[in-house]
Chains A and B, each alone.
Chain A
Amino acid sequence: MGIFFTKHRESTVQILFVATLILLTSCANSRKSAQKITDAEIRMQQIEQVEAMDYASAAFQAAQSRLEEARQLVERRKHKKAMLKADEAIVAAELAEVKTLARKADDSLSELKASIASLKEQLNQYRQDQ
């Protein structure tokens, strides 16, 4: 072993260096993908709170399925692909949130217009009574 190490010292160092590098890169990717999935999960919780599943169900489901895919990829140790899917989940969640806010604004607008119509009717009644 000692003779082998002495004889192939330079090659052994190079192999060990590459192996360490691969290990470190793999660990870093694992941490990054876990962080991305956590970010996506937080975004999902946020859009659940604004009732995105009711107001923007397609976008909500798109985000949810991508998050699920990311989780499965992590289990299969495909961290880079998992990060991509988690990123997609985050951006899909962003779309679901904006869509939800736009739909809610639509509803508020309709309600406010209905209130105005009702107030105008009331006003006409008062004017007739006077």
Chain B
Amino acid sequence: MRKTTLSIPILLAVVIVIVAGCANYALVDEAKKDYERVKNDPAVMMHAPNLLKEAEKQFKIIGNLKKNGASKLLINHHAFIAEQKLVIAEEMATLNKRQDELAEVEKEYQLVLGQVQQAEAQLAKKQAVEARMEADEARRRTEMLSRQLADIEAEKTERGLVVNLRNVLFDSGKSDIKIGAVDNLAKLIRFLLEYRDRNVLIEGFTDNLGARSVNQRLSEQRASAVKQALINSGIKPDRIITRGYGEDYAIADNSSEAGRQQNRRVEVVISDETGTITSRRPVQ
């Protein structure tokens, strides 16, 4: 009976030892499995060999602890440290890989940035040349305009450029343009063909001979005669406005034939570049 009583605690102790010996160290197993995987990763070997060694050190500690029958808590602690070191090693490898990639991409960025800056400089140079050429062209056109305006004897007035077609003369009571005056009109036509953004207002005037109403109609007919001459030469009708002012706005004394001839005239007001023409002030 005594023999049996003694054997139970002994048996219990044996079972405890066996169970302790075969204790399930899941964390350790997992860490070891990860170690086998991570140690074969060339990136880890290259960038984080020290962390692998730290993990190995933890496994040695675990081995010794197991031999000495240390607590599962302590063994799991070292397994946790080993596992963390392995994950850090992998992350470190990733980080180094990214940093290498960043260095490469940074080089590419600098290269492309340099190309962009070079292209910007070239474009700016080209734009400067174009701007200079445009300025030269504008200057040339201005000079040409000045020459042509001088040629057609345009006067600068508050209404803009006014051309008095002095040589476009009419017989008294007639609206037909006299032969010989056509040459004078030709310069105006050339100007209008060249500067298509300019519109014209053609104003007809008469002397004071005859009835006012007749003179009014005659002045309108004279303006229309000039308009027709322009249209016949290729100027679009929508660029031309006509007005007749009869004997108003005389520029010379109607008491002499010479004065009356000057008053039988047509004036052409040339618009600015926007096509705008300022209207004449009414007679006081």
**Which of A's residues lie within 8 Å of B, judged by CB?**
81, 84, 87-88, 91-92, 94-95, 98-99, 101-102, 105-106, 108-109, 112-113, 115-116, 119-120, 122-123, 126-127, 129-130
**Which of B's residues lie within 8 Å of A, judged by CB?**
73-74, 77, 80-81, 84-85, 87-88, 91-92, 94-95, 98-99, 101-102, 105-106, 108-109, 112-113, 115-116, 119-120, 122-123, 126
A70 to chain B, nearest CB (A): 12
Q: What total count of A-B pairs have CB within 8 Å?
A: 74
B268 to chain A, nearest CB (A): 43
Determine the chain A residues whose CB is within 8 A of the CB of B73 once the complex forms: 81, 84
Determine the chain A residues whose CB is within 8 A of the CB of B87 once the complex forms: 95
A-B contact pairs, 18 of them (CB 8 A): A84-B73, A84-B77, A88-B81, A88-B84, A91-B80, A91-B81, A94-B84, A98-B95, A102-B91, A102-B98, A105-B98, A115-B109, A119-B112, A119-B116, A122-B116, A123-B119, A126-B119, A126-B123
A91–B73 Cα distance when bound, in Å, is: 17
Select which of B81, B112, B123 is within 8 A of A116 by beta carbon: B112
A101–B200 Cα distance when bound, in Å, is: 75
A81 to chain B, nearest CB (A): 7
Given contacts A95-B91, A101-B95, A102-B98, contact A112 B81 (CB under 8 A): no
